[in-house]
Structure 1
Amino acid sequence: MKYLALTLLTTICFQVSAATHTYSQDNGVISRVYINPEGAIAVQLKQGFPKAKSDNQCPDGNGWAGLRMADNAIKSAILAAKSATISVTITTEGCEGAWFKIRDIYLN
């Protein structure tokens, strides 16, 4: 019985761990940028976020990925990529309100 309880607990821990550490990566060119005075920034990719959608990262997502309180490095990277029209890889993980939550950005 003790072995069964330990096995069940271990299985649950692995499943919860896997569920909380899922993320998606989408590639593309930034088509739109939203910024507000409170520090939020969000982006849309020309191709959208098909991987984040198929992975169900944010079921009620509105097609934007962003952060309500973004670090200045993230904001700078987004604005540089938009200005230079270069491809980016945006990693998303879950929701930030109705946005896919940005985990990190690669400038390609």
Structure 2
Amino acid sequence: MKYFILVFWLLLSLNSHSYTQATGTIKEIYIDKNGAVALKLNEGFSSSVVSAECSTYNGYAGIRDSEPAMKSLLLAAYAAKATIKLGITGCDGNWLKINDVRGY
């Protein structure tokens, strides 16, 4: 039983990713023909988010394969200058990888 719990804990820890959040308004948005979406926040991304998630960060947070609903929410938030909260999990290339978005 001891070994089962140890193996289970090791497998769980190998598959877990860090998760941080960033809140702000969208300063700049980028969308390419392949569906990649990236953005910069007016408030920027804190150094604690960057250091915890993506050492190759180039100023953008984004995702290469996005859902249409996520793109719609990001575009609406940009147009309305609304506050959003991004869930960040690691890197997507040189971008902070957006895992989820919440609009306010």
TM-score over 0.5 for the alignment? yes
In structure 2, the residue corresponding to 1:63 is in which secondary structure?
Answer: coil
Match of 1:37 among 29, 33, 36: 33
TM-score of the pair, normalised by structure 2:
0.86
TM-score of the pair, normalised by structure 1:
0.83
CA offset at residue 12 of structure 1?
2.6
Which stretches of structure 1, 4 residues or more, deviate above 4 A after TM superposition?
5-8
1:56-100 C-alpha deviation (Å, 9 max, x unpaired): 201111121111121110110000000000110001101111001
1:17-50 C-alpha deviation (Å, 9 max, x unpaired): 4xx2321101001100001111111011111121
Bigger radius of gyration among the two: 1
- Contact conserved, 2:50 with 2:96, CA < 8 A, in 1? no
Match of 2:54 among 54, 58, 73: 58
In structure 1, the residue corresponding to 2:76 is in which secondary structure?
Answer: helix
In structure 2, the residue corresponding to 1:38 is in which secondary structure?
Answer: coil
Aligned length: 103
Distance 1:65 1:25 in 2: 11
> What is the identity, as a one-letter code, of the residue corresponding to 1:15?
S
Superposed CA RMSD in Å reads: 1.8
In structure 2, the residue corresponding to 1:44 is in which secondary structure?
Answer: strand
Distance 1:95 1:68 in 2: 11
Which ranges of structure 2 fall in alignment gaps of 5 or more residues?
A: none
